[in-house]
Amino acid sequence: MTRHKAPAKWLNNKRRPSTPVVSRVDALILSETVMNVSVATTFVRIATAVKNIRIAVFERKTPSRLRCMSYLLNLVYLITLVIASPWFVYNAIRKGKYRQGWGAKFLGRVPWRSRERPGIWLHAVSVGEVNLLQPLLAAIEDKHPDWECVISTTTRTGYELARQKYAPRSVFYCPLDFSWAVRTALRRIQPQLLVLVELELWPNLIRWAKRSDIPVAIVNGRLSASSARGYSRIQFLMRRLLQSISLVAVQNEEYAERFRQLGAVPDQIHVTGSLKFDGIDLDRENPATRQLAALAGISDQDVVFLAGSTQSPEEKFAVSVFRQLVSRYPRLRLILVPRHPERFAEVASMLDQQGIEWQRRSELDTDASDTPPPVLLVDVMG
């Protein structure tokens, strides 16, 4: 051990030729960087979007309202991307973020899926949502072992965790909400169902899925009061978008009412509880928990202060509280779990500066120490 010291319903699915058909889905179960895209290419996309909007609005040659809305959204997204590009470049260079998956994100080049089996595309933004998928995947694959589940994420940490937890299933970065990207992704995956975890309302993705006769479901749905107020300002758009969704499985009745007020179809809203609690192992004597406690030298007599999913400067606050309490509770142990892996080194440096004994989870020996440091930094994923 290295010690550190200072110093409930079924959905109908329309039949599509050349793809396997899943007639019903159980609602109880469903309860290379920005810099690789040249500036010239980006402005060509903007010019094309402007031209398409001009045709749609002024020359009245648009084939559908869907295409007109897609042109407008593409333009908004591209302008936003150009404005925010210095921020993306800075984070890519200084923090190593946003360097992966741009073929999938910008062009929809996700892995091709064989159409020999029915498929479900599940999208989870980051680590929290990826963890929520575990009980859902288990239920789907137990009830329908012939179905193939593929998983998309948005963040690098979510992607790495999904690959670790759900291999050998296909895991990829979700395309950005450009019409050409989501259309390409849908064509490559050919899912019979698209499942969005919690609240991922991307208009192009949802509308093009509907146009392709692919039902869309929200699971573990939540909608805070502040988000609902924001969405209410564009309710005329939200109503049409939410009515394109076949199932909205929410955590509680409060969230259900907010979805109804925004225009979701009441009969398609179901209160199913929280997947987060469904996935919790309530047995504290399970082998994994006991093994970790033994490695960290935590006994049944110890009191554990867990600071999880922390962001700066929350770790400093936790250490300050720990110091105030440890004189009263000598068996107190502090476990720090930073939310983002890129901050592991930063938190380690802070602990050194605080002059407190601590150890890394990644450096725990196979045997427990007789006198383990009182602070454990969890610097691993999964």
Mention every residue, 6+ apart, whose C-beta is less than 8 A from residue 12: 23, 24, 215
Catalytic residue among 116, 129, 253, 257: 129
Closest C-alpha among 348, 376, 352, 347 to residue 364: 376
What is the 3-class SS of 139-160, one letter each residue? HHHHHCCCCEEEEEECCHHHHH
Amino acid in position 282: L
Omega before 341 within 30 of 0, i.e. cis = no
Closest C-alpha among 303, 291, 371 to residue 335: 303
Token pair, residue 119, equals 């498929």
Q: State the Cα–Cα distance between residues 20 and 271, nearest whole angstrom.
A: 30
Residue given tokens 């939410």 in the structure block: 242
- Which helix (H) or strand (E) segment holds residue 315: the answer is helix 314-326
* Contact by Cβ (8 Å): 229, 157: no
Q: Phi/psi at 10 (nearest 5 deg)? A: -100, 145
Token pair, residue 210, equals 């509907």
* Contact by Cβ (8 Å): 339, 309: yes
Amino acid in position 37: V
Helices (H) and strands (E) in the chain — how many of each? 14, 13
Closest C-alpha among 322, 332, 268 to residue 302: 332
Active site residue 198: no
Q: State the Cα–Cα distance between residues 266 and 247, nearest whole angstrom.
A: 10
Q: State the Cα–Cα distance between residues 219 and 199, nearest whole angstrom.
A: 8
Q: State the Cα–Cα distance between residues 176 and 204, nearest whole angstrom.
A: 9
Q: State the Cα–Cα distance between residues 82 and 35, nearest whole angstrom.
A: 11
Active site residues: 129
